[in-house]
Chains A and B, each alone.
Chain A
Amino acid sequence: MGKRVAIIGVGNSRFGKRDDVSIQELAWESIKEALNDSGLSQKDIGLVVVGSTAYRGVELYPAPIVAEYSGLTGKVPLRVEAMCATGLAAALTAYTAVSSGLVDVAMAIGVDKMTEVDTSTSLAIGGRGGNYQWEYHFYGTTFPTYYALYATRHMAVYGTTEEQMALVAVKAHKYGSMNPKAHFQKPVTVEEVLKSRVISWPIKLLDSCPISDGSATAIFASEEKVKELKIENPVWITGVGYANDYAYVAKRGEWTGFKATQLAAKQAYEMAKITPNDVEVATVHDAFTIAEIMGYEDLGFTEKGKGGKFIEEGQSERGGKVGVNLFGGLKAKGHPLGATGLSMIYEITKQLRDEAGNLQHPLKKYIGLVHNVGGTGHFAYVMILRR
């Protein structure tokens, strides 16, 4: 086991269609906020990891550009990529550098500018988020199709309904409309979700997260550094978990949950010495509404097959058993791939510090969880955070 690691600064840009800025300007919005939040400056950072999928923007190699623009040249030797879990993969890399004792302070920047290409190109890139040679090439998969395969099976095996899935969107948009940094600012109704255009049945437009631009940054420090800097509100990372699964989706054997999430969660809970019942507030990877329902089950917030009931009963609302995605989730806050995982860390850090304003979840144990899925269950990362 490595050294204890704390999060000492977080930043999050406004998410949305951000054609007002370049990728480096977008990254700087969250870098500046995280530096200010921690009270540190660039010279205090020992290692910087840039998480970016980059495929949808003109800058295919954004790390050096982001580093230069932000005064971090010399500190950024790598970019990390794990599809939609790129943000938490970058966070794990920075965490590891501190935990191992390589550096005292590390920064993870997640940034993607996804709206620089047209939607059709974006869809074609997303559709290759599986195994191009044996899937897309012959069958024309889209990213929503992969999640739809899970939704159809979940519906058939557990009786999960399209209405229950719609409730996830309704919850996300409700909280998104209360978060000025969210991509979507308007509530939606169950009826609007059900009547929205079918993308890949049973997934409809309003079951899907938007294509967003955004950045988020977190700064990680060792316990010695936390003491030395007299950080008043450190948030400790007490558990980490990671796993992956087959690229060729048919090979996975079952399609009602993500084995990668189940493995990552088990690892993180064991390291943190907690059970799912201890988690009070969480971000669950909700790229599509079915993903959040499976997330409740895979993370152990409810029994297998009961995810639909869990949302129906309001257990994942603010003030419920586990407050889930209270900043709007991927579904309404937005999903700029590289930024998403770090934006989740931003959100849970704010919650654990009681700084979430009108989105604050009532906490007793001050235990939070972040969960970021890459691809369609290809990667999963879980982190347990405590104040």
Chain B
Amino acid sequence: MQVDAIPLALRYKIQYPDEFINAIKRGEILATKCKNCGATYFPPQRDCYNCGKNEMDWVKIDNEGELMTYSIVFQKPQGFENYDNYVIGIVKTKDNISLMVWIKGEPKVGTKVRLTTDGIRLIGEVIK
């Protein structure tokens, strides 16, 4: 006989760097760069695994890149049910940093995109 088991509701709180979230609100995308060895991190890291130091500068990411690949999400997961179909893409900048973004405009592999934000997340706008 099948019965309803007791549901497990998981509620989480997580931490983001203030600098990163405030920059997104301004339309900017930040990475961290090690003051000691110059290694750049995206996603941003507080700790440098390259040299072991933990003093970082926040640096702006080049705002133009190439769309490397994408997918159009039809079946949306929990928390995203109310969005229209959205396009998740990977964009590589001239500085060779690759980011996950939502793509606005007609997606095509190899097309140039301008990196910005919608105040909440990173956006890649297809350049006509």
Task: Name the B residues within 8 Å of A136 (CB-CB).
Answer: 77
Which B residues between 78 and 105 are near A, CB-CB below 8 angstroms? Answer: 78-80, 83, 86, 88, 90-91, 98-102
Say whether A138 contacts B120, CB under 8 Å.
yes
Say whether B43 contacts A248, CB under 8 Å.
yes
Task: Name the A residues within 8 Å of B90 (CB-CB).
Answer: 149, 249-250, 255
A251 on interface, CB distance cutoff 8 Å: yes
Say whether B79 contacts A140, CB under 8 Å.
yes
Say whether A203 contacts B71, CB under 8 Å.
yes
Task: Name the A residues within 8 Å of B77 (CB-CB).
Answer: 120, 123-124, 127, 136, 140-142
- For the complex, what is the distance from the CA of A133 to the CA of B109, rounded to whole Å? 26
Chain-B contact segment, one of A99-107, A150-158, A210-218? A150-158
- For the complex, what is the distance from the CA of A202 to the CA of B74, rounded to whole Å? 10
- For the complex, what is the distance from the CA of A142 to the CA of B73, rounded to whole Å? 8
Say whether A200 contacts B68, CB under 8 Å.
no
Say whether A153 contacts B74, CB under 8 Å.
no
Given that A140-B83, A149-B88, A249-B90 are contacting pairs, would A134 and B73 also be in contact in the complex, using a CB cutoff of 8 Å?
A: no
Which A residues between 329 and 368 are near B, CB-CB below 8 angstroms? Answer: none
Please name the residue on chain B nearest to A19 by beta carbon: B2
A135 on interface, CB distance cutoff 8 Å: yes
14 cross-chain CB contacts under 8 A: A124-B78, A133-B14, A138-B120, A138-B121, A139-B121, A141-B100, A142-B75, A145-B88, A197-B74, A197-B75, A198-B72, A200-B74, A250-B98, A252-B98
Given contacts A145-B73, A201-B71, A248-B43, 9 further A-B contacts (CB under 8 A): A140-B86, A142-B73, A142-B75, A148-B71, A152-B69, A153-B68, A157-B109, A200-B72, A200-B73
